[in-house]
Chains A and B, each alone.
Chain A
Amino acid sequence: MTDTATSTDATSSIVSPRRRWWDRYSSTSPITLTILALILGIVIGAIIIMVTSAPVLNAWRHSFHHVGSFPSTLKITFDNVAAAYRAMITGSIVDPTLLFHSISTGHGWDVTMTPISETLTYATPLIIASIGVGIAFQTGIFNIGANGQAISGGIAGTAVGSMIHVPMIIHLPLTLLAGIAGGAVCGLVPGLLKAYTGAHEVIVTLMFNYVVNAFLIYVLTSTALQLPGQANDISRNFDASAILDPIFGTKSGLRVSYGIFVAAAVVVFAIWFLKRSSLGFDFRVTGANPNAARASGINPKFIIIALFVVSGGLAGLAGVVQAASTTHYIDGGFLVGSAGIGFTAITIALLGRLQPMGIVWGSLLFAALGVGGRSMQAATGIPLDLATIIQSIVVLFVASPVLIKEIFHLRKGAQSFQMATKGWSS
């Protein structure tokens, strides 16, 4: 029964029927469901703020004893939640007062634009990695190892970026290519294992994340890559010719870099690849119906391997872009733990329903939540982790559209996005 569900989904995405523009906003369209999921996430986040922040709790305790203070209690509750979300928005998009000041005086644009620049900086590697994960998903492959592949790409990119000395016109592309190659190699192994032994990609890529983490520490403490004169796990610095410079120059303080153009190129590539290229078509056919794909002469082994190379390569590119545009070196904490982008990329790919443009919006949203969460923590003391909580809740809802439809009493009929599921063995 999963097969039929998958094939109808796939047919509709391969040959989309003629639709009017307002259909996109009808109550059962995926966009509506995503927005509803976001609203639910924000509401649950607000509840979490209410039940955990001390001023709100104190006000409520007070109002139990003094019934008259109930309206002020409500106001305190509302103010706390509003302050948190206001800080989140002004910290990730733009602060209206600063914007007004900049418009009226013509000065201070650097400060005004910092939030949006930060959001774009955070979004850049997320867009690239999520598109890689999304391409794999479309073929029914769950690449959970994007983080390991990104680290691997970062290592390869740092090696080329810091140890080879050639002019920028060669050096920068070479560094990015090295990142792609590093990620692709790291993706190739699970691909080969999956194709030839049937090893489930989830467990293999998961284990690979740990292997790559250990490998990262190993290379950072080896003489080849370690910063000379250092005992810590820190790499050499990128040459100036291998760095993705800030677009507005280093003086402005705006960190948004030329990496954003790399991400844009990846988006264009992904759209072309999935919609126009023959390999991309083979990918989608294999994902929609492996039997039909095999019958039409597509070699499933080749598809799986190629898929992991493409997906891993993009993750690797994300890793090297991250290193080349922000830190210009890598250390033992590079993309490790909470700084990792692999699991975020999985959730973004889902949020964007695996489509490149959807993923762009998803990445911007998640980056804004992350950056905004930081300024919320600074302004109100509410931990940054609230942003991650909201992200996870949104994705949980997006992953189970049936649940949202039930909550909001929506029509069940129309097709909606749902991942094709399958077990360990296949």
Chain B
Amino acid sequence: MTAIADVFPSVVPVPEVREPGEGRRRIIGALTIVLGLFIIFVFGFGSVSGSHSVVTFNPINTSSGAPWGLSDLTVLTRWWNVVLGLIALAVGVETWLRRPAGALARFGVGGVMFFLALLLWSVRQPGPAPIGNINLTSVLVNSSAVIMVLIYGSLSGVLCERSGVVNIAIEGQFIGGAVAGAMVDSVTNSFWLAALVGILVGGLVGWLLALLAVRYVADQIIVGVVIVTLMGSISSYLNIQVLAPYPNLNIGNQPSNVAIPLLYKIPVIGPTLFDENMFFYVAIALVALISFGLFRTRWGLRVRSVGEHPKAAESVGISVARVRYTTVILGGAVAGLGGVAFIATQGQFQPGITSGYGYIALAAMIFGKWKPSGAVVASIIFGLSAYMVQNLQNSNVPISTEFLTMFPYLVTIAVVAGLIGRVRPPAADGVPYKRD
């Protein structure tokens, strides 16, 4: 509709309508205001007057030398949090009144304020936390492992779903990649070989999904769910039958970090982005590669056309089945590589070690609106909050971490329900294609 209006403005009159999503932007504004008030009254005035928090920036241990040091920052918890809350509040009020197009980004600002305020609040002294400082660098470095895995998983989801196949089996591909990666690396002591085998195993699981969903037109969601169960039980079976009796098949090597010269010296950002293992860099490269591939190449156009309107694609000579096959296998391979990356950061394989990250990656993909870049943003949000939950549980803070655990899931539900921002999947996503 809009396309025709763009080309022939006189033929199709564009009706004057109220811009869609105005009401939603109001809701987002309201949510941001609530966030701001929460920060002010719980994290701000909830801390004793005169209590202070220490923020440190220097990494505790790095593989390749410390970045340029920053001195510790000691702040008054109450007033800093009030300021952070006021910022969120101001942004929220602005969103409520002006209903700008970038409402979601403003909500993101509120979210960052919330995150920082929570960090300051959780380490305040005098307070309940045993350790009186928060190391911003190690928060980011430690959460980067989960973020990386989620990026792999959501990229796999983006690939498959852009071609019209729902890949709910990401978790299964993670598991396959993780088992295979742990075993191959233990035997060969090479993470490159492990990655290769992980890609093959993930691709194999993707092929199974494609075979049943594309060729035998089975329900994609059911097949995906069952494949996850299958891979979970196979990994657990292998663990008892093979890995337990032969512990040298499950040594749990971890790859060493590769520091990028000079860049790794930048405080906070350096250790987070430029002093990581190879899987991290590969993930970043994949984001760029898949973004480019999907939106700038012939191949990507074909994939997307098959996902949006298979019949039209077929009519111009594109084989829907073949495109879907290759894309799903490729997606499975990406997730399989993600499984290897995950086991590389975790060490030894245990059944259930992926603990639902595949499903969270699925949510991150939806949150990121089926775009690689969006998937990255969503993965960062989900990964950070997952790490925070773990960290707060360990640090004895009297906050119900259960509600923090729920946070990313509730946000996903809100996004899917269209409460904040509207998501639109590829039109033929999940619909098997049968030639007439």
Chain A residues proximal to chain B, CB less than 8 Å: 1-2, 48, 52-54, 142, 144, 193, 197-200, 202-204, 206-208, 210-211, 214-215, 217-218, 337-338, 343, 346-347, 350, 382-383, 385-386, 388-389, 391-393, 395-396, 399-400, 402-403, 418-425
> B229 to chain A: which residues have CB within 8 Å?
343, 347, 388, 391-392
Select which of B219, B362, B409, B427 is within 8 A of A399 by beta carbon: B219
Does B14 interact with chain A (Cβ within 8 Å)? no
Q: CA A203 – CA B411 in complex, angstroms?
A: 12
> A396 to chain B: which residues have CB within 8 Å?
212, 218, 223, 226-227, 230
Q: With contacts A202-B221, A385-B236 known, is A423 near B406, CB below 8 A? A: no
Listed A/B pairs (27) with beta-carbon separation below 8 Å:
A1-B436, A52-B242, A142-B222, A204-B416, A207-B409, A207-B412, A207-B413, A210-B359, A210-B405, A210-B409, A211-B409, A214-B402, A215-B406, A218-B402, A337-B352, A343-B225, A383-B236, A388-B230, A388-B236, A392-B230, A396-B223, A396-B230, A420-B219, A421-B218, A421-B219, A421-B431, A424-B366
B221 touches A142 (CB 8 A): yes
Interface string of B404-436 (1 = CB under 8 A from A): 011001101100111100001101111110101
Closest to A387 in B: B233
A338 touches B352 (CB 8 A): yes
> A386 to chain B: which residues have CB within 8 Å?
233, 237
B233 touches A388 (CB 8 A): yes
A403 touches B216 (CB 8 A): yes
User: Nearest Cβ in chain B — how far from A142, in angstroms?
Assistant: 6
B234 touches A193 (CB 8 A): no
B212 touches A385 (CB 8 A): no
Closest to B366 in A: A203
Q: With contacts A203-B362, A218-B403 known, is A399 near B222, CB below 8 A? A: yes
> B228 to chain A: which residues have CB within 8 Å?
343
Q: CA A385 – CA B239 in complex, angstroms?
A: 10
Q: CA A342 – CA B242 in complex, angstroms?
A: 29
Q: With contacts A203-B363, A400-B216 known, is A210 near B356, CB below 8 A? A: yes
> A206 to chain B: which residues have CB within 8 Å?
359, 362-363
Does B81 interact with chain A (Cβ within 8 Å)? no
Select which of A197, A215, A400 is within 8 A of B402 by beta carbon: A215
B205-219 interface (Cβ within 8 A of A)? 212, 216-219
> B217 to chain A: which residues have CB within 8 Å?
400, 402, 418, 421
Select which of B164, B240, B363, B417 is within 8 A of A383 by beta carbon: B240
Does B241 interact with chain A (Cβ within 8 Å)? yes
Q: CA A202 – CA B366 in complex, angstroms?
A: 12
Number of residues of chain B lying within 8 A (CB) of chain A = 58
Closest to B217 in A: A402
Does B220 interact with chain A (Cβ within 8 Å)? yes
Which among A202, A214, A388, A418 has the highest number of chain B CB atoms within 10 Å? A214
Which among A385, A391, A395, A422 has the highest number of chain B CB atoms within 10 Å? A385
A419 touches B222 (CB 8 A): yes
Q: CA A393 – CA B230 in complex, angstroms?
A: 7
Closest to A396 in B: B226
> B434 to chain A: which residues have CB within 8 Å?
1
B418 touches A199 (CB 8 A): yes
Select which of B161, B225, B356, B430 is within 8 A of A422 by beta carbon: B430
B127-186 interface (Cβ within 8 A of A)? 161, 164, 166, 168
Q: CA A391 – CA B233 in complex, angstroms?
A: 10
A399 touches B417 (CB 8 A): no
Does B400 interact with chain A (Cβ within 8 Å)? yes
Q: With contacts A392-B233, A396-B226 known, is A425 near B429, CB below 8 A? A: yes
Select which of B237, B359, B405 is within 8 A of A389 by beta carbon: B237
User: Nearest Cβ in chain A — how far from B370, in angstroms?
Assistant: 9
B223 touches A204 (CB 8 A): no
> B405 to chain A: which residues have CB within 8 Å?
210, 214
Select which of B218, B406, B419 is within 8 A of A400 by beta carbon: B218
Q: CA A53 – CA B241 in complex, angstroms?
A: 7
Does B13 interact with chain A (Cβ within 8 Å)? no
Select which of A210, A215, A421 is within 8 A of B430 by beta carbon: A421
Interface string of B355-387 (1 = CB under 8 A from A): 010010011001000000000000000000000
Chain B residues proximal to chain A, CB less than 8 Å: 161, 164, 166, 168, 212, 216-223, 225-230, 232-234, 236-238, 240-242, 245, 352, 356, 359, 362-363, 366, 400, 402-403, 405-406, 409-410, 412-413, 416-419, 424-425, 427-432, 434, 436
> A399 to chain B: which residues have CB within 8 Å?
212, 218-219, 222-223, 226
Closest to A200 in B: B416
Question: Top 9 A-B pairs ranked by shortest CB distance?
Answer: A423-B430, A388-B233, A392-B230, A218-B402, A400-B218, A199-B417, A383-B240, A400-B216, A385-B237
Q: With contacts A337-B352, A421-B219 known, is A211 near B225, CB below 8 A? A: no
> B219 to chain A: which residues have CB within 8 Å?
399, 418-421
Q: With contacts A350-B222, A421-B431, A424-B429 known, is A382 near B241, CB below 8 A? A: yes
Q: CA A52 – CA B168 in complex, angstroms?
A: 28
> B166 to chain A: which residues have CB within 8 Å?
423-424
Which among A347, A388, A420 has the highest number of chain B CB atoms within 10 Å? A388
Beyond A395-B222, A420-B219, 19 additional contacts (C-beta under 8 Å) are: A1-B436, A202-B221, A204-B417, A210-B406, A211-B406, A347-B226, A385-B236, A392-B230, A393-B230, A396-B227, A399-B222, A400-B212, A400-B217, A400-B223, A403-B216, A421-B219, A421-B220, A422-B430, A424-B366
Closest to B365 in A: A203
Closest to A52 in B: B241
> A400 to chain B: which residues have CB within 8 Å?
212, 216-218, 223
Select which of A218, A395, A402 is within 8 A of B216 by beta carbon: A402
Q: CA A382 – CA B222 in complex, angstroms?
A: 28
B409 touches A199 (CB 8 A): no
User: Nearest Cβ in chain A — how far from B214, in angstroms?
Assistant: 11
Q: CA A27 – CA B240 in complex, angstroms?
A: 39
B416 touches A203 (CB 8 A): yes
User: Nearest Cβ in chain B — how far from A220, in angstroms?
Assistant: 10
Q: CA A310 – CA B34 in complex, angstroms?
A: 35
Q: CA A385 – CA B356 in complex, angstroms?
A: 18
